[in-house]
Amino acid sequence: MKFKNLTAAACGLLVLGGVVEAREIQLGHTLSDDSHYSVGADAFKETLERVSGGEFTVREHVAGSLGGERDMIEGLQIGTVDVVITSTGPLGNFVPDTYVLDLPFLFTDYDHARSVLDSDIGQDLLDDMEPHGIIGLAWSENGFRHMTNSRNEVHEPADVEGIKIRTMENQVHMNAFRELGASPTPMAFPELFTALQQGTVDAQENPVTVIVATKFWEVQDHVSLTGHVYSPAAVLGSSVLWGELSEQEKGWFHEAAQASAEATRDEVLRLETEGLDLLRENGMTVIEEVDKAPFQSQIQPVYEAFQDEYGSEMLERIQSFEG
């Protein structure tokens, strides 16, 4: 799919014969057009077009049509993509501070996770992105990640041993599954469904929102509510575009990103409530009662490795947070 490179000329307001031509913003994500990401994209579009009085329009590119999440983040850095809604999976490759959010069992529930991300801690992480050519606009949401697989039910760590599981391109996630005895295989999300279908991997892990949106029941038999990682999403902007905006225009983008995040969070909660029934209706075995303590115990070396490489300051701030 072709899309405009936002050069200074293209990004500026074009006045032809007294008519102002709106700037078209290219917004990409990897999920379907009926996913929670698209709900967020619709809210971003509606808000930006409204508050800008039509100076900006938004074109949504779904289902990885602009590439995987890593590809699109790289696009932000060079200005070929304007706004991306993405998981944090590949983000640590660009902004290492965000790896802390991928530590297993870091957050206890949705209120805890949202409170941290909406605090100064979350804002500091967003601000840390700008030196890397990425503008952190808002923290959105995927939800707590759970395991699905086509091999066996997962009740305890022993059930994970030997499973070939697709993970995001994220060392923290990969290390956690190695500690559980699995064989983690990183790959871009657009490749995952086919890999499951062909048996290249046995399993994957994602929130209920993504499992539903991608119809993984067509290629997976079991889902276990391990809730091993809280998965935020991020609404990100291009630093190339950002450098061409006025302060007022930047305010419009922040407002649109916040509206996107709120709409996505609402949709996540709806799907968390209704999604499990939909998975069952489509033939999946849903394991709701999973004892998380043995999983937590087994992945402790991941915390130690993280602190050795990245330090403990941000981790300690999150662990001591009282919202």
Span 254-284, pLDDT tens digits: 999 999 999 999 999 999 889 999 999 999 9
> Which residues, listed in sequence order, are joined to residue 25 by a DSSP beta bridge?
58
How many helices and strands in the chain, by DSSP H and E? 13, 11
Q: Which fold has domain 8-319?
A: D-Maltodextrin-Binding Protein; domain 2 (3.40.190)
Q: What tokens were used for 118? A: 């909406």
User: Taking the model in full, what pTM does it have?
Assistant: 0.89
Q: Are 160 and 224 in contact (CB under 8 A)?
A: no
Q: Are 234 and 44 in contact (CB under 8 A)?
A: no
Give the range among 17-26, 86-95, 185-194, 196-205 with minimum mean pLDDT: 17-26
Distance, C-alpha 229 to centroid of its chain: 12
Q: Are 153 and 96 in contact (CB under 8 A)?
A: no
In degrees, to the nearest 5, what angle opens at C-alpha 297 toward C-alphas 293 and 299?
A: 120
Whether the per-residue pLDDT at 30 is higher than 70: the answer is yes
DSSP result, 54-95? TSEEEEEE-TTTT--HHHHHHHHHHTS-SEEEEESTTGGGT-
Whether the per-residue pLDDT at 8 is higher than 80: the answer is no
Q: What tokens were used for 67? A: 């590439």
Q: Are 223 and 285 in contact (CB under 8 A)?
A: yes
Top pLDDT among 292 and 17 is at 292
Q: What is the mean pLDDT of residues 143-158?
A: 97
- Domain ranges, ordered by start, for the chain: 8-319
CA neighbor of 269 nearest in space, from 204, 206, 208, 323: 208
Q: Are 38 and 62 in contact (CB under 8 A)?
A: yes
pLDDT band for position 19 (50/70/90)? low
H helices of 59-137, in order, are 69-78, 110-117, 120-127
Please name the helix (run of DSSP H) or strand (run of DSSP E) that holds residue 118, with its range, or none. Answer: none
> Which residues, listed in sequence order, are joined to residue 140 by a DSSP beta bridge?
233
- The count of C-alpha atoms lying within 13 angstroms of the C-alpha of 119, restricted to the half-sphere facing its C-beta, is 14
In degrees, to the nearest 5, what angle opens at C-alpha 237 toward C-alphas 306 and 32?
A: 85
Quote the CA–CA distance of 114 and 128 in Å, as a whole number.
Answer: 19
Q: Are 175 and 136 in contact (CB under 8 A)?
A: no
Whether the per-residue pLDDT at 1 is higher than 70: the answer is no
> Which residues, listed in sequence order, are joined to residue 57 by a DSSP beta bridge?
24
- Digit-coded pLDDT (tens) for 106-119: 999 999 999 999 99
pLDDT band for position 63 (50/70/90)? very high
